[in-house]
Amino acid sequence: MALRIDGKKISTEIKDELKVKVEAYKEQGIDICLAVIQVGNDPASSVYVGNKKKACEYIGIRSLAYELEESVTQEELLSLIKTLNEREDVNGILVQLPLPKHIDEDVVIRAIDPKKDVDGFHPYSVGALSIGEEGFVSCTPAGIIQLCKRSGIEIAGKECVVIGRSNIVGKPISMLLLRENGTVTVCHSRTKDLKEVTKRADILVVAIGKPKFITKEYVKDGAVVIDVGIHRNENNKLCGDVDFDDVEPVASAITPVPGGVGPMTIAMLMNNCVEAVKLQK
């Protein structure tokens, strides 16, 4: 039986540690504040934004919510970001993605002051990560590293295979695994013989975006399998990119969906908000 990596438990541990740090900052007169901007009312985004607000409340971070109309112009959004960049009481700025089609996400991400880029999406943050400098690391990949470390999974020297090359998950998790001295291979839609590559993995990170795509035929005996996907099946049940029931018997450790990687993203966002204070000093 594989170890089920409990992201809910580990994320609560991290949030409880952060609570203590936030309290210590409060005693120094520093009240950490995150501004969250949502454009339109996409239901999934509303759930994510609501969970971010709840996490802020839990650890004692002040959150400012900006709910903008779907029709807001790019200029209006950029103007709000400029104001928040200049406000000394705001430590972190998060613009919930995706944005409506008439708004250029890249321009919006670049408008956020890199010192307040708690999502770690700004090219400055991405560049800092790639050359091993201090900066914000995007939350889901940072969460995966914490899941491994806090479950006693060694990364150094391991064959790590990442499926997916997105800017938000695939690329940054590859950089982080490399930083932890893993031997990293990145697979994508043009990879020839995916199974042959994934079968080599000691640690397999799956961010392919296809429900239950990874079955035991893709997994080496004893591998650690990290599932970044989240989908709703025909019965409205959540599932990941990995066929959990099929893969669990061959894995040594595996993240469930829900309750694996998902809760870690918000815990690491909270961590970035606390780190923001140091970066801004």
6, 15, 38, 52: the active-site residue = 52
Positions touching ligand GUN (CB under 6 A) are 94-97, 119, 139, 265
> Least distance to ligand GUN from the beta carbon of 26, Å?
26
- Say whether 52 is catalytic: yes
Pairing of strands 159-163, 253-254: unpaired
Q: Check: CB of residue 49 under 8 Å from CB of residue 35.
A: no
What value, to the nearest 5°, has the Cα angle with vertex 43 and ends 139 and 271?
20
| Closer by beta carbon to ligand GUN, 142 or else 201 | 142
Considering the complex, what minimum distance in angstroms separates the CB of residue 266 from ligand GUN?
9
Instruction: Considering the complex, state which of residue 119 and residue 202 has its C-beta at the smaller distance from ligand GUN.
Output: 119
Longest dimension (CA), the chain: 57
CB of 66 to ligand GUN, least distance (A): 13
Taking the complex as a whole, the smallest distance from the CB of residue 48 to ligand GUN amounts, in Å, to 6
User: Which one of 38, 96, 146, 220 is the catalytic residue?
Assistant: 96
Ramachandran bin of 36, using left for φ above 0, alpha for ψ from -120 to 50, beta for the remaining angles: beta
**Catalytic one of 6, 116, 117, 119:** 119
Is 193 a residue of the active site? no
**Burial class for 228, CB neighbours closer than 10 Å (0-12, 13-18, 19+):** buried
Task: Tell me if the bond preceding 258 is cis, omega within 30° of 0.
Answer: yes
Please confirm, yes or no, whether 96 is among the known catalytic residues. Answer: yes
- Which residues are catalytically annotated? 52, 96, 119
